């Protein structure tokens, strides 16, 4: 049966990834608005379905920390509200420091954490070793530990948010591709789709790596670039505890999390590989790129340095998917300067 497009919405949300579903959920729950979410393919089918699922809260920016802390509080409550699991597991997160600058950064963060009511601990290398025996701590100055960080399933969170949005009255319609806007002065008055037109009061552009293209349809510049981002999932790793804390090792540019007895690990390389320079195809749905173990080698070496036991552990799977990165590494959130009623939520830089 073909979906039917309503004639009008107070707000049209474009994109059914985690950001679009969260936006629809909050607008419907907190503002009692008539919300319609349009997804060109299926919910989660862009970048969301293959995210690793690390969830951290503390950043050097106070406002970003507040947003991230709110997310964790929401993940804890969402299952009770919707009946759908989110995979939320509060393992805590260890951030490793191998130099004085990093250590000073963590000491500052510990103060910031206190001001947000978060109990962040600074640990010695010996304490880190006790908590995570498989880690090589010989080069560490110390680590920070935030017990309330953790991991979740991005697809499950998205489905829970989608269900919550529907429970609060939003309409989420899959298989509807936005192709343009009716503009009057610098306002959008209607959204064009393959199923016809829908008039609206506001548009929220949550189209992930397509957000640049959607923005351009309304004269809005959304500076982001899809980049290939990889992680591997290992076989079971002997000695790894099921509730092991997630690890961020910024000096080696890697991250780790436990998953069914094995490890998920990946990283941020200084020479990332951009994907397309032109438009992202609309048909890119639940797709990945070819494994690129040559490019991943830098993360593999770093991971082996940090967890030597990985040398005897097989790789079960590699995930190589696209994620949007922005020039300054910050996400793009808020009202666009160019169009009076387009808002943007995109470019999340595998934020974690
Ligand atoms: C390998 C990898 C690991 C990652 N790990 C983590 C992690 O551990 N923690 C973390 O926080 N993040 C992580 N990320 C990043 C995370 O996946 C993304 O930031 C997040 O999923 C982006 O969600 P989104 O809703 O903005 O985009 P998407 O999920 O891509 O959703 C955008 C949606 O918009 C739809 N759309 C586009 N154009 C149109 C149109 N014209 N009409 C209608 N619909 C349209 C698309 O079909 C798509 O479904 C990772 C990413 C990768 C690639």
pLDDT tens by residue, 150-189: 999 999 999 999 999 999 999 999 999 999 999 999 999 9
> Are 241 and 173 within one domain?
no
User: Is 215 near ligand 1, meaning CB less than 6 Å away?
Assistant: no
Is residue 120 a part of any domain in this protein? no
User: Is 208 near ligand 1, meaning CB less than 6 Å away?
Assistant: yes
Is residue 130 a part of any domain in this protein? no
Q: What is the pLDDT of residue 96?
A: 98
Q: Return the ligand 1 atom nearest residue 48 CA.
A: 21
Is residue 303 a part of any domain in this protein? yes
Q: Quick one: which H or E segment has residue 213?
A: helix 211-217
> Are 241 and 288 within one domain?
yes
CA angle 83, 89, 93 (to 5 degrees): 150
Burial (Cβ within 10 Å: 0-12, 13-18, ≥19) of residue 117: exposed
Q: What is the pLDDT of residue 1?
A: 47
- 281's CB contacts (< 8 A; 6+ apart) are none
Is residue 261 a part of any domain in this protein? yes
> Are 309 and 248 within one domain?
yes
In degrees and rounded to multiples of 5, residue 19 shows phi and psi of -75, -45
Burial (Cβ within 10 Å: 0-12, 13-18, ≥19) of residue 10: middle
User: Is 352 near ligand 1, meaning CB less than 6 Å away?
Assistant: yes
**Contact 21/172 with Cβ under 8 angstroms?**
yes
Q: What is the pLDDT of residue 57?
A: 92
Among the listed residues 176, 219, 164, the one whose alpha carbon sits nearest the alpha carbon of residue 341:
219
> Are 241 and 203 within one domain?
no
CATH number where 171 lies: 3.50.50.60
User: Is 46 near ligand 1, meaning CB less than 6 Å away?
Assistant: yes
User: Is 170 near ligand 1, meaning CB less than 6 Å away?
Assistant: no
* Side-chain-side CA neighbours of residue 181 (13 Å): 26
**Separation of 116 CA from ligand 1 center, angstroms?**
28
CATH number where 293 lies: 3.30.9.10
- Region 73-100: what's the mean pLDDT? 96
> Are 231 and 248 within one domain?
yes
**Separation of 210 CA from ligand 1 center, angstroms?**
9
**Separation of 185 CA from ligand 1 center, angstroms?**
31
Render 293-322 in DSSP notation, one character per residue. HHHHHHHHHHHHHH-GGGGG--EEEEEEEE
> Are 231 and 204 within one domain?
no
In degrees and rounded to multiples of 5, residue 192 shows phi and psi of -90, 140
Q: Return the ligand 1 atom nearest residue 322 CA.
A: 53
Is residue 68 a part of any domain in this protein? no
> Are 321 and 229 within one domain?
yes
Q: What is the pLDDT of residue 302?
A: 98
> Are 212 and 256 within one domain?
no
> Are 46 and 179 within one domain?
yes
- Mean pLDDT over all residues of the chain? 96
Q: What is the pLDDT of residue 2?
A: 57
- As for how many domains the chain has, the answer is 2
Evaluate if residue 265 carries a pLDDT over 60.
yes
What is the domain extent for residue 34? 8-52+155-224+330-346
Is residue 88 a part of any domain in this protein? no
Which of 159, 207, 343 has most ligand 1 atoms within 8 Å of CB, for mutation?
A: 207
Q: Quick one: which H or E segment has residue 110?
A: helix 100-115
> Are 202 and 271 within one domain?
no
Is residue 254 a part of any domain in this protein? yes
> Are 163 and 208 within one domain?
yes
Is residue 134 a part of any domain in this protein? no
User: Is 41 near ligand 1, meaning CB less than 6 Å away?
Assistant: yes
How large is the ipTM? 0.98
Whole-angstrom distance, CA of residue 134 vs CA of residue 141 = 17
Q: Which residue's CA is the closest to the ligand 1 atom numbered 15?
A: 350
> Are 242 and 294 within one domain?
yes
């Amino acid at each position: 049966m073909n979906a039917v497009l309503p004639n009008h919405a107070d707000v049209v949300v474009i994109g059914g990834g985690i950001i679009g579903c969260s936006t629809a959920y909050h607008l419907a729950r907190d503002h009692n608005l008539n919300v319609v979410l349009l997804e060109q393919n299926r919910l989660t089918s862009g970048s969301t379905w293959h995210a690793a699922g690390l969830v951290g809260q503390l950043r050097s920016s106070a406002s970003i920390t507040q947003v991230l802390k709110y997310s964790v509080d929401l993940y804890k409550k969402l299952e009770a509200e919707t009946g759908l699991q989110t995979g939320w597991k509060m393992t805590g997160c260890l951030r490793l420091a191998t130099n004085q600058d990093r250590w000073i950064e963590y000491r500052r963060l510990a103060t910031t954490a206190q001001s947000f009511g978060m109990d962040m601990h600074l640990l010695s290398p010996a304490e880190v070793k006790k908590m995570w025996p498989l880690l090589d701590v010989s080069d560490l100055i110390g680590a920070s530990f935030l017990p309330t960080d953790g991991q979740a399933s991005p697809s499950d969170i998205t489905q829970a948010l989608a269900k919550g949005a529907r429970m609060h009255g939003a309409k989420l319609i899959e298989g509807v591709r936005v192709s343009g806007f009716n503009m009057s002065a610098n306002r959008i008055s209607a959204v064009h789709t393959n199923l016809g037109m829908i008039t609206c009061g506001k548009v929220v552009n949550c189209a992930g790596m397509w957000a640049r293209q959607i923005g351009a349809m309304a004269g809005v510049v959304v500076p982001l670039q899809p980049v290939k981002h990889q992680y591997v999932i290992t076989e079971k790793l002997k000695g790894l505890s099921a509730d092991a804390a997630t690890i961020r090792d910024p000096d080696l540019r890697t991250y780790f999390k436990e998953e069914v007895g094995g490890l998920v690990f990946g990283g941020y390389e200084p020479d990332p590989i951009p994907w397309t320079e032109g438009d992202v195809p609309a048909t890119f749905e639940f797709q990945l790129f070819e494994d690129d173990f040559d490019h991943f080698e830098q993360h593999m070496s770093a991971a082996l340095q940090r967890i030597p036991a990985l040398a005897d552990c097989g790789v079960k799977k590699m995930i190589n998917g696209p994620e949007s990165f922005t020039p300054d590494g910050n996400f793009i959130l808020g009202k666009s300067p160019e169009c009076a009623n387009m808002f943007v939520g995109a470019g999340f830089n595998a934020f974690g």
